[in-house]
């Protein structure tokens, strides 16, 4: 990619989030940097999820997902559990406790500031990824004074890497 384009794209700031979903048979979650509010009334959230991911398969069936903003000091091993392994052959919830939200999707409290529950209203095919747009149906606060983890902090302080499924490398 052209260096100016690459540098320009680097100026866009993001947070880091766990996105979870579940259907009758299975549950899973992944890390995304691409979660953002797209409307206020009713409140709607969009997440951009790689078509190859197991979570994509489950959100497509369940038509629901939860978004949990991560706290700044989230350990790399925790991010690795959700962001560097696929749930197709590994239980990401084996060592992570969770409850079940009103929409049936896992709610992870560990290292999360809050949880936003949604029901999928629209999907947009953007090529390698699908943009799932969900109406917010419930919310919980875990750490009211917590500092959110940004993508910049993840790269510059935690020295974290980004795997191929991410929208932004």
Ligand X SMILES: Cc1cc2nc3c(=O)[nH]c(=O)nc-3n(C[C@H](O)[C@H](O)[C@H](O)COP(=O)(O)O)c2cc1C
| Residues of this chain that bind ligand X (CB under 6 A) | 16, 28, 30-34, 48-50, 53-55, 79, 83-87, 129, 154, 160, 162-163, 165-167
Nearer to ligand X, 111 or 129 (CB): 129
Nearer to ligand X, 144 or 164 (CB): 164
Nearer to ligand X, 9 or 141 (CB): 9
Separation between Cα atoms, residue 137 and residue 64, nearest integer Å? 10
Nearer to ligand X, 31 or 108 (CB): 31
Residues 6+ away with beta carbon under 8 Å from 78: 96, 110, 111
Q: Which long-range contacts (CB under 8 A, 24 or more apart) does 50-53 make?
A: 50/128, 50/129, 50/165, 50/166, 50/167, 51/128, 51/129, 51/130, 52/128, 52/165, 53/86, 53/165
Shortest Cβ 33–ligand X spacing (Å): 4
DSSP state, 148? B
Shortest Cβ 151–ligand X spacing (Å): 7
Shortest Cβ 20–ligand X spacing (Å): 10
Shortest Cβ 38–ligand X spacing (Å): 15
């Amino acid at each position: 990619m052209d260096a100016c384009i690459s540098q320009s794209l680097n100026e866009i700031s993001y947070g880091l989030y766990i996105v979870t979903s579940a259907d009758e048979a299975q549950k899973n979650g992944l890390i995304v940097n691409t979660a953002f509010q797209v409307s206020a009334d009713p409140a709607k959230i969009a997440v951009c999820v790689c078509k190859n991911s197991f979570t994509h398969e489950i959100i497509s069936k369940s038509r629901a997902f939860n978004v949990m903003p991560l706290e700044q000091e989230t350990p790399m091993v925790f991010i690795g559990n959700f962001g560097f392994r696929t749930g197709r052959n590994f239980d990401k919830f084996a060592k992570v406790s969770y409850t079940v939200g009103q929409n049936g999707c896992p709610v992870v409290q560990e290292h999360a500031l809050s949880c936003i529950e949604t029901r999928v209203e629209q999907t947009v095919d953007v090529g390698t990824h699908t943009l799932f747009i969900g109406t917010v149906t419930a919310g919980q606060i875990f750490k009211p004074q917590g500092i959110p983890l940004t993508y910049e902090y993840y790269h510059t302080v935690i020295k974290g890497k980004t795997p191929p499924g991410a929208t932004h490398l």
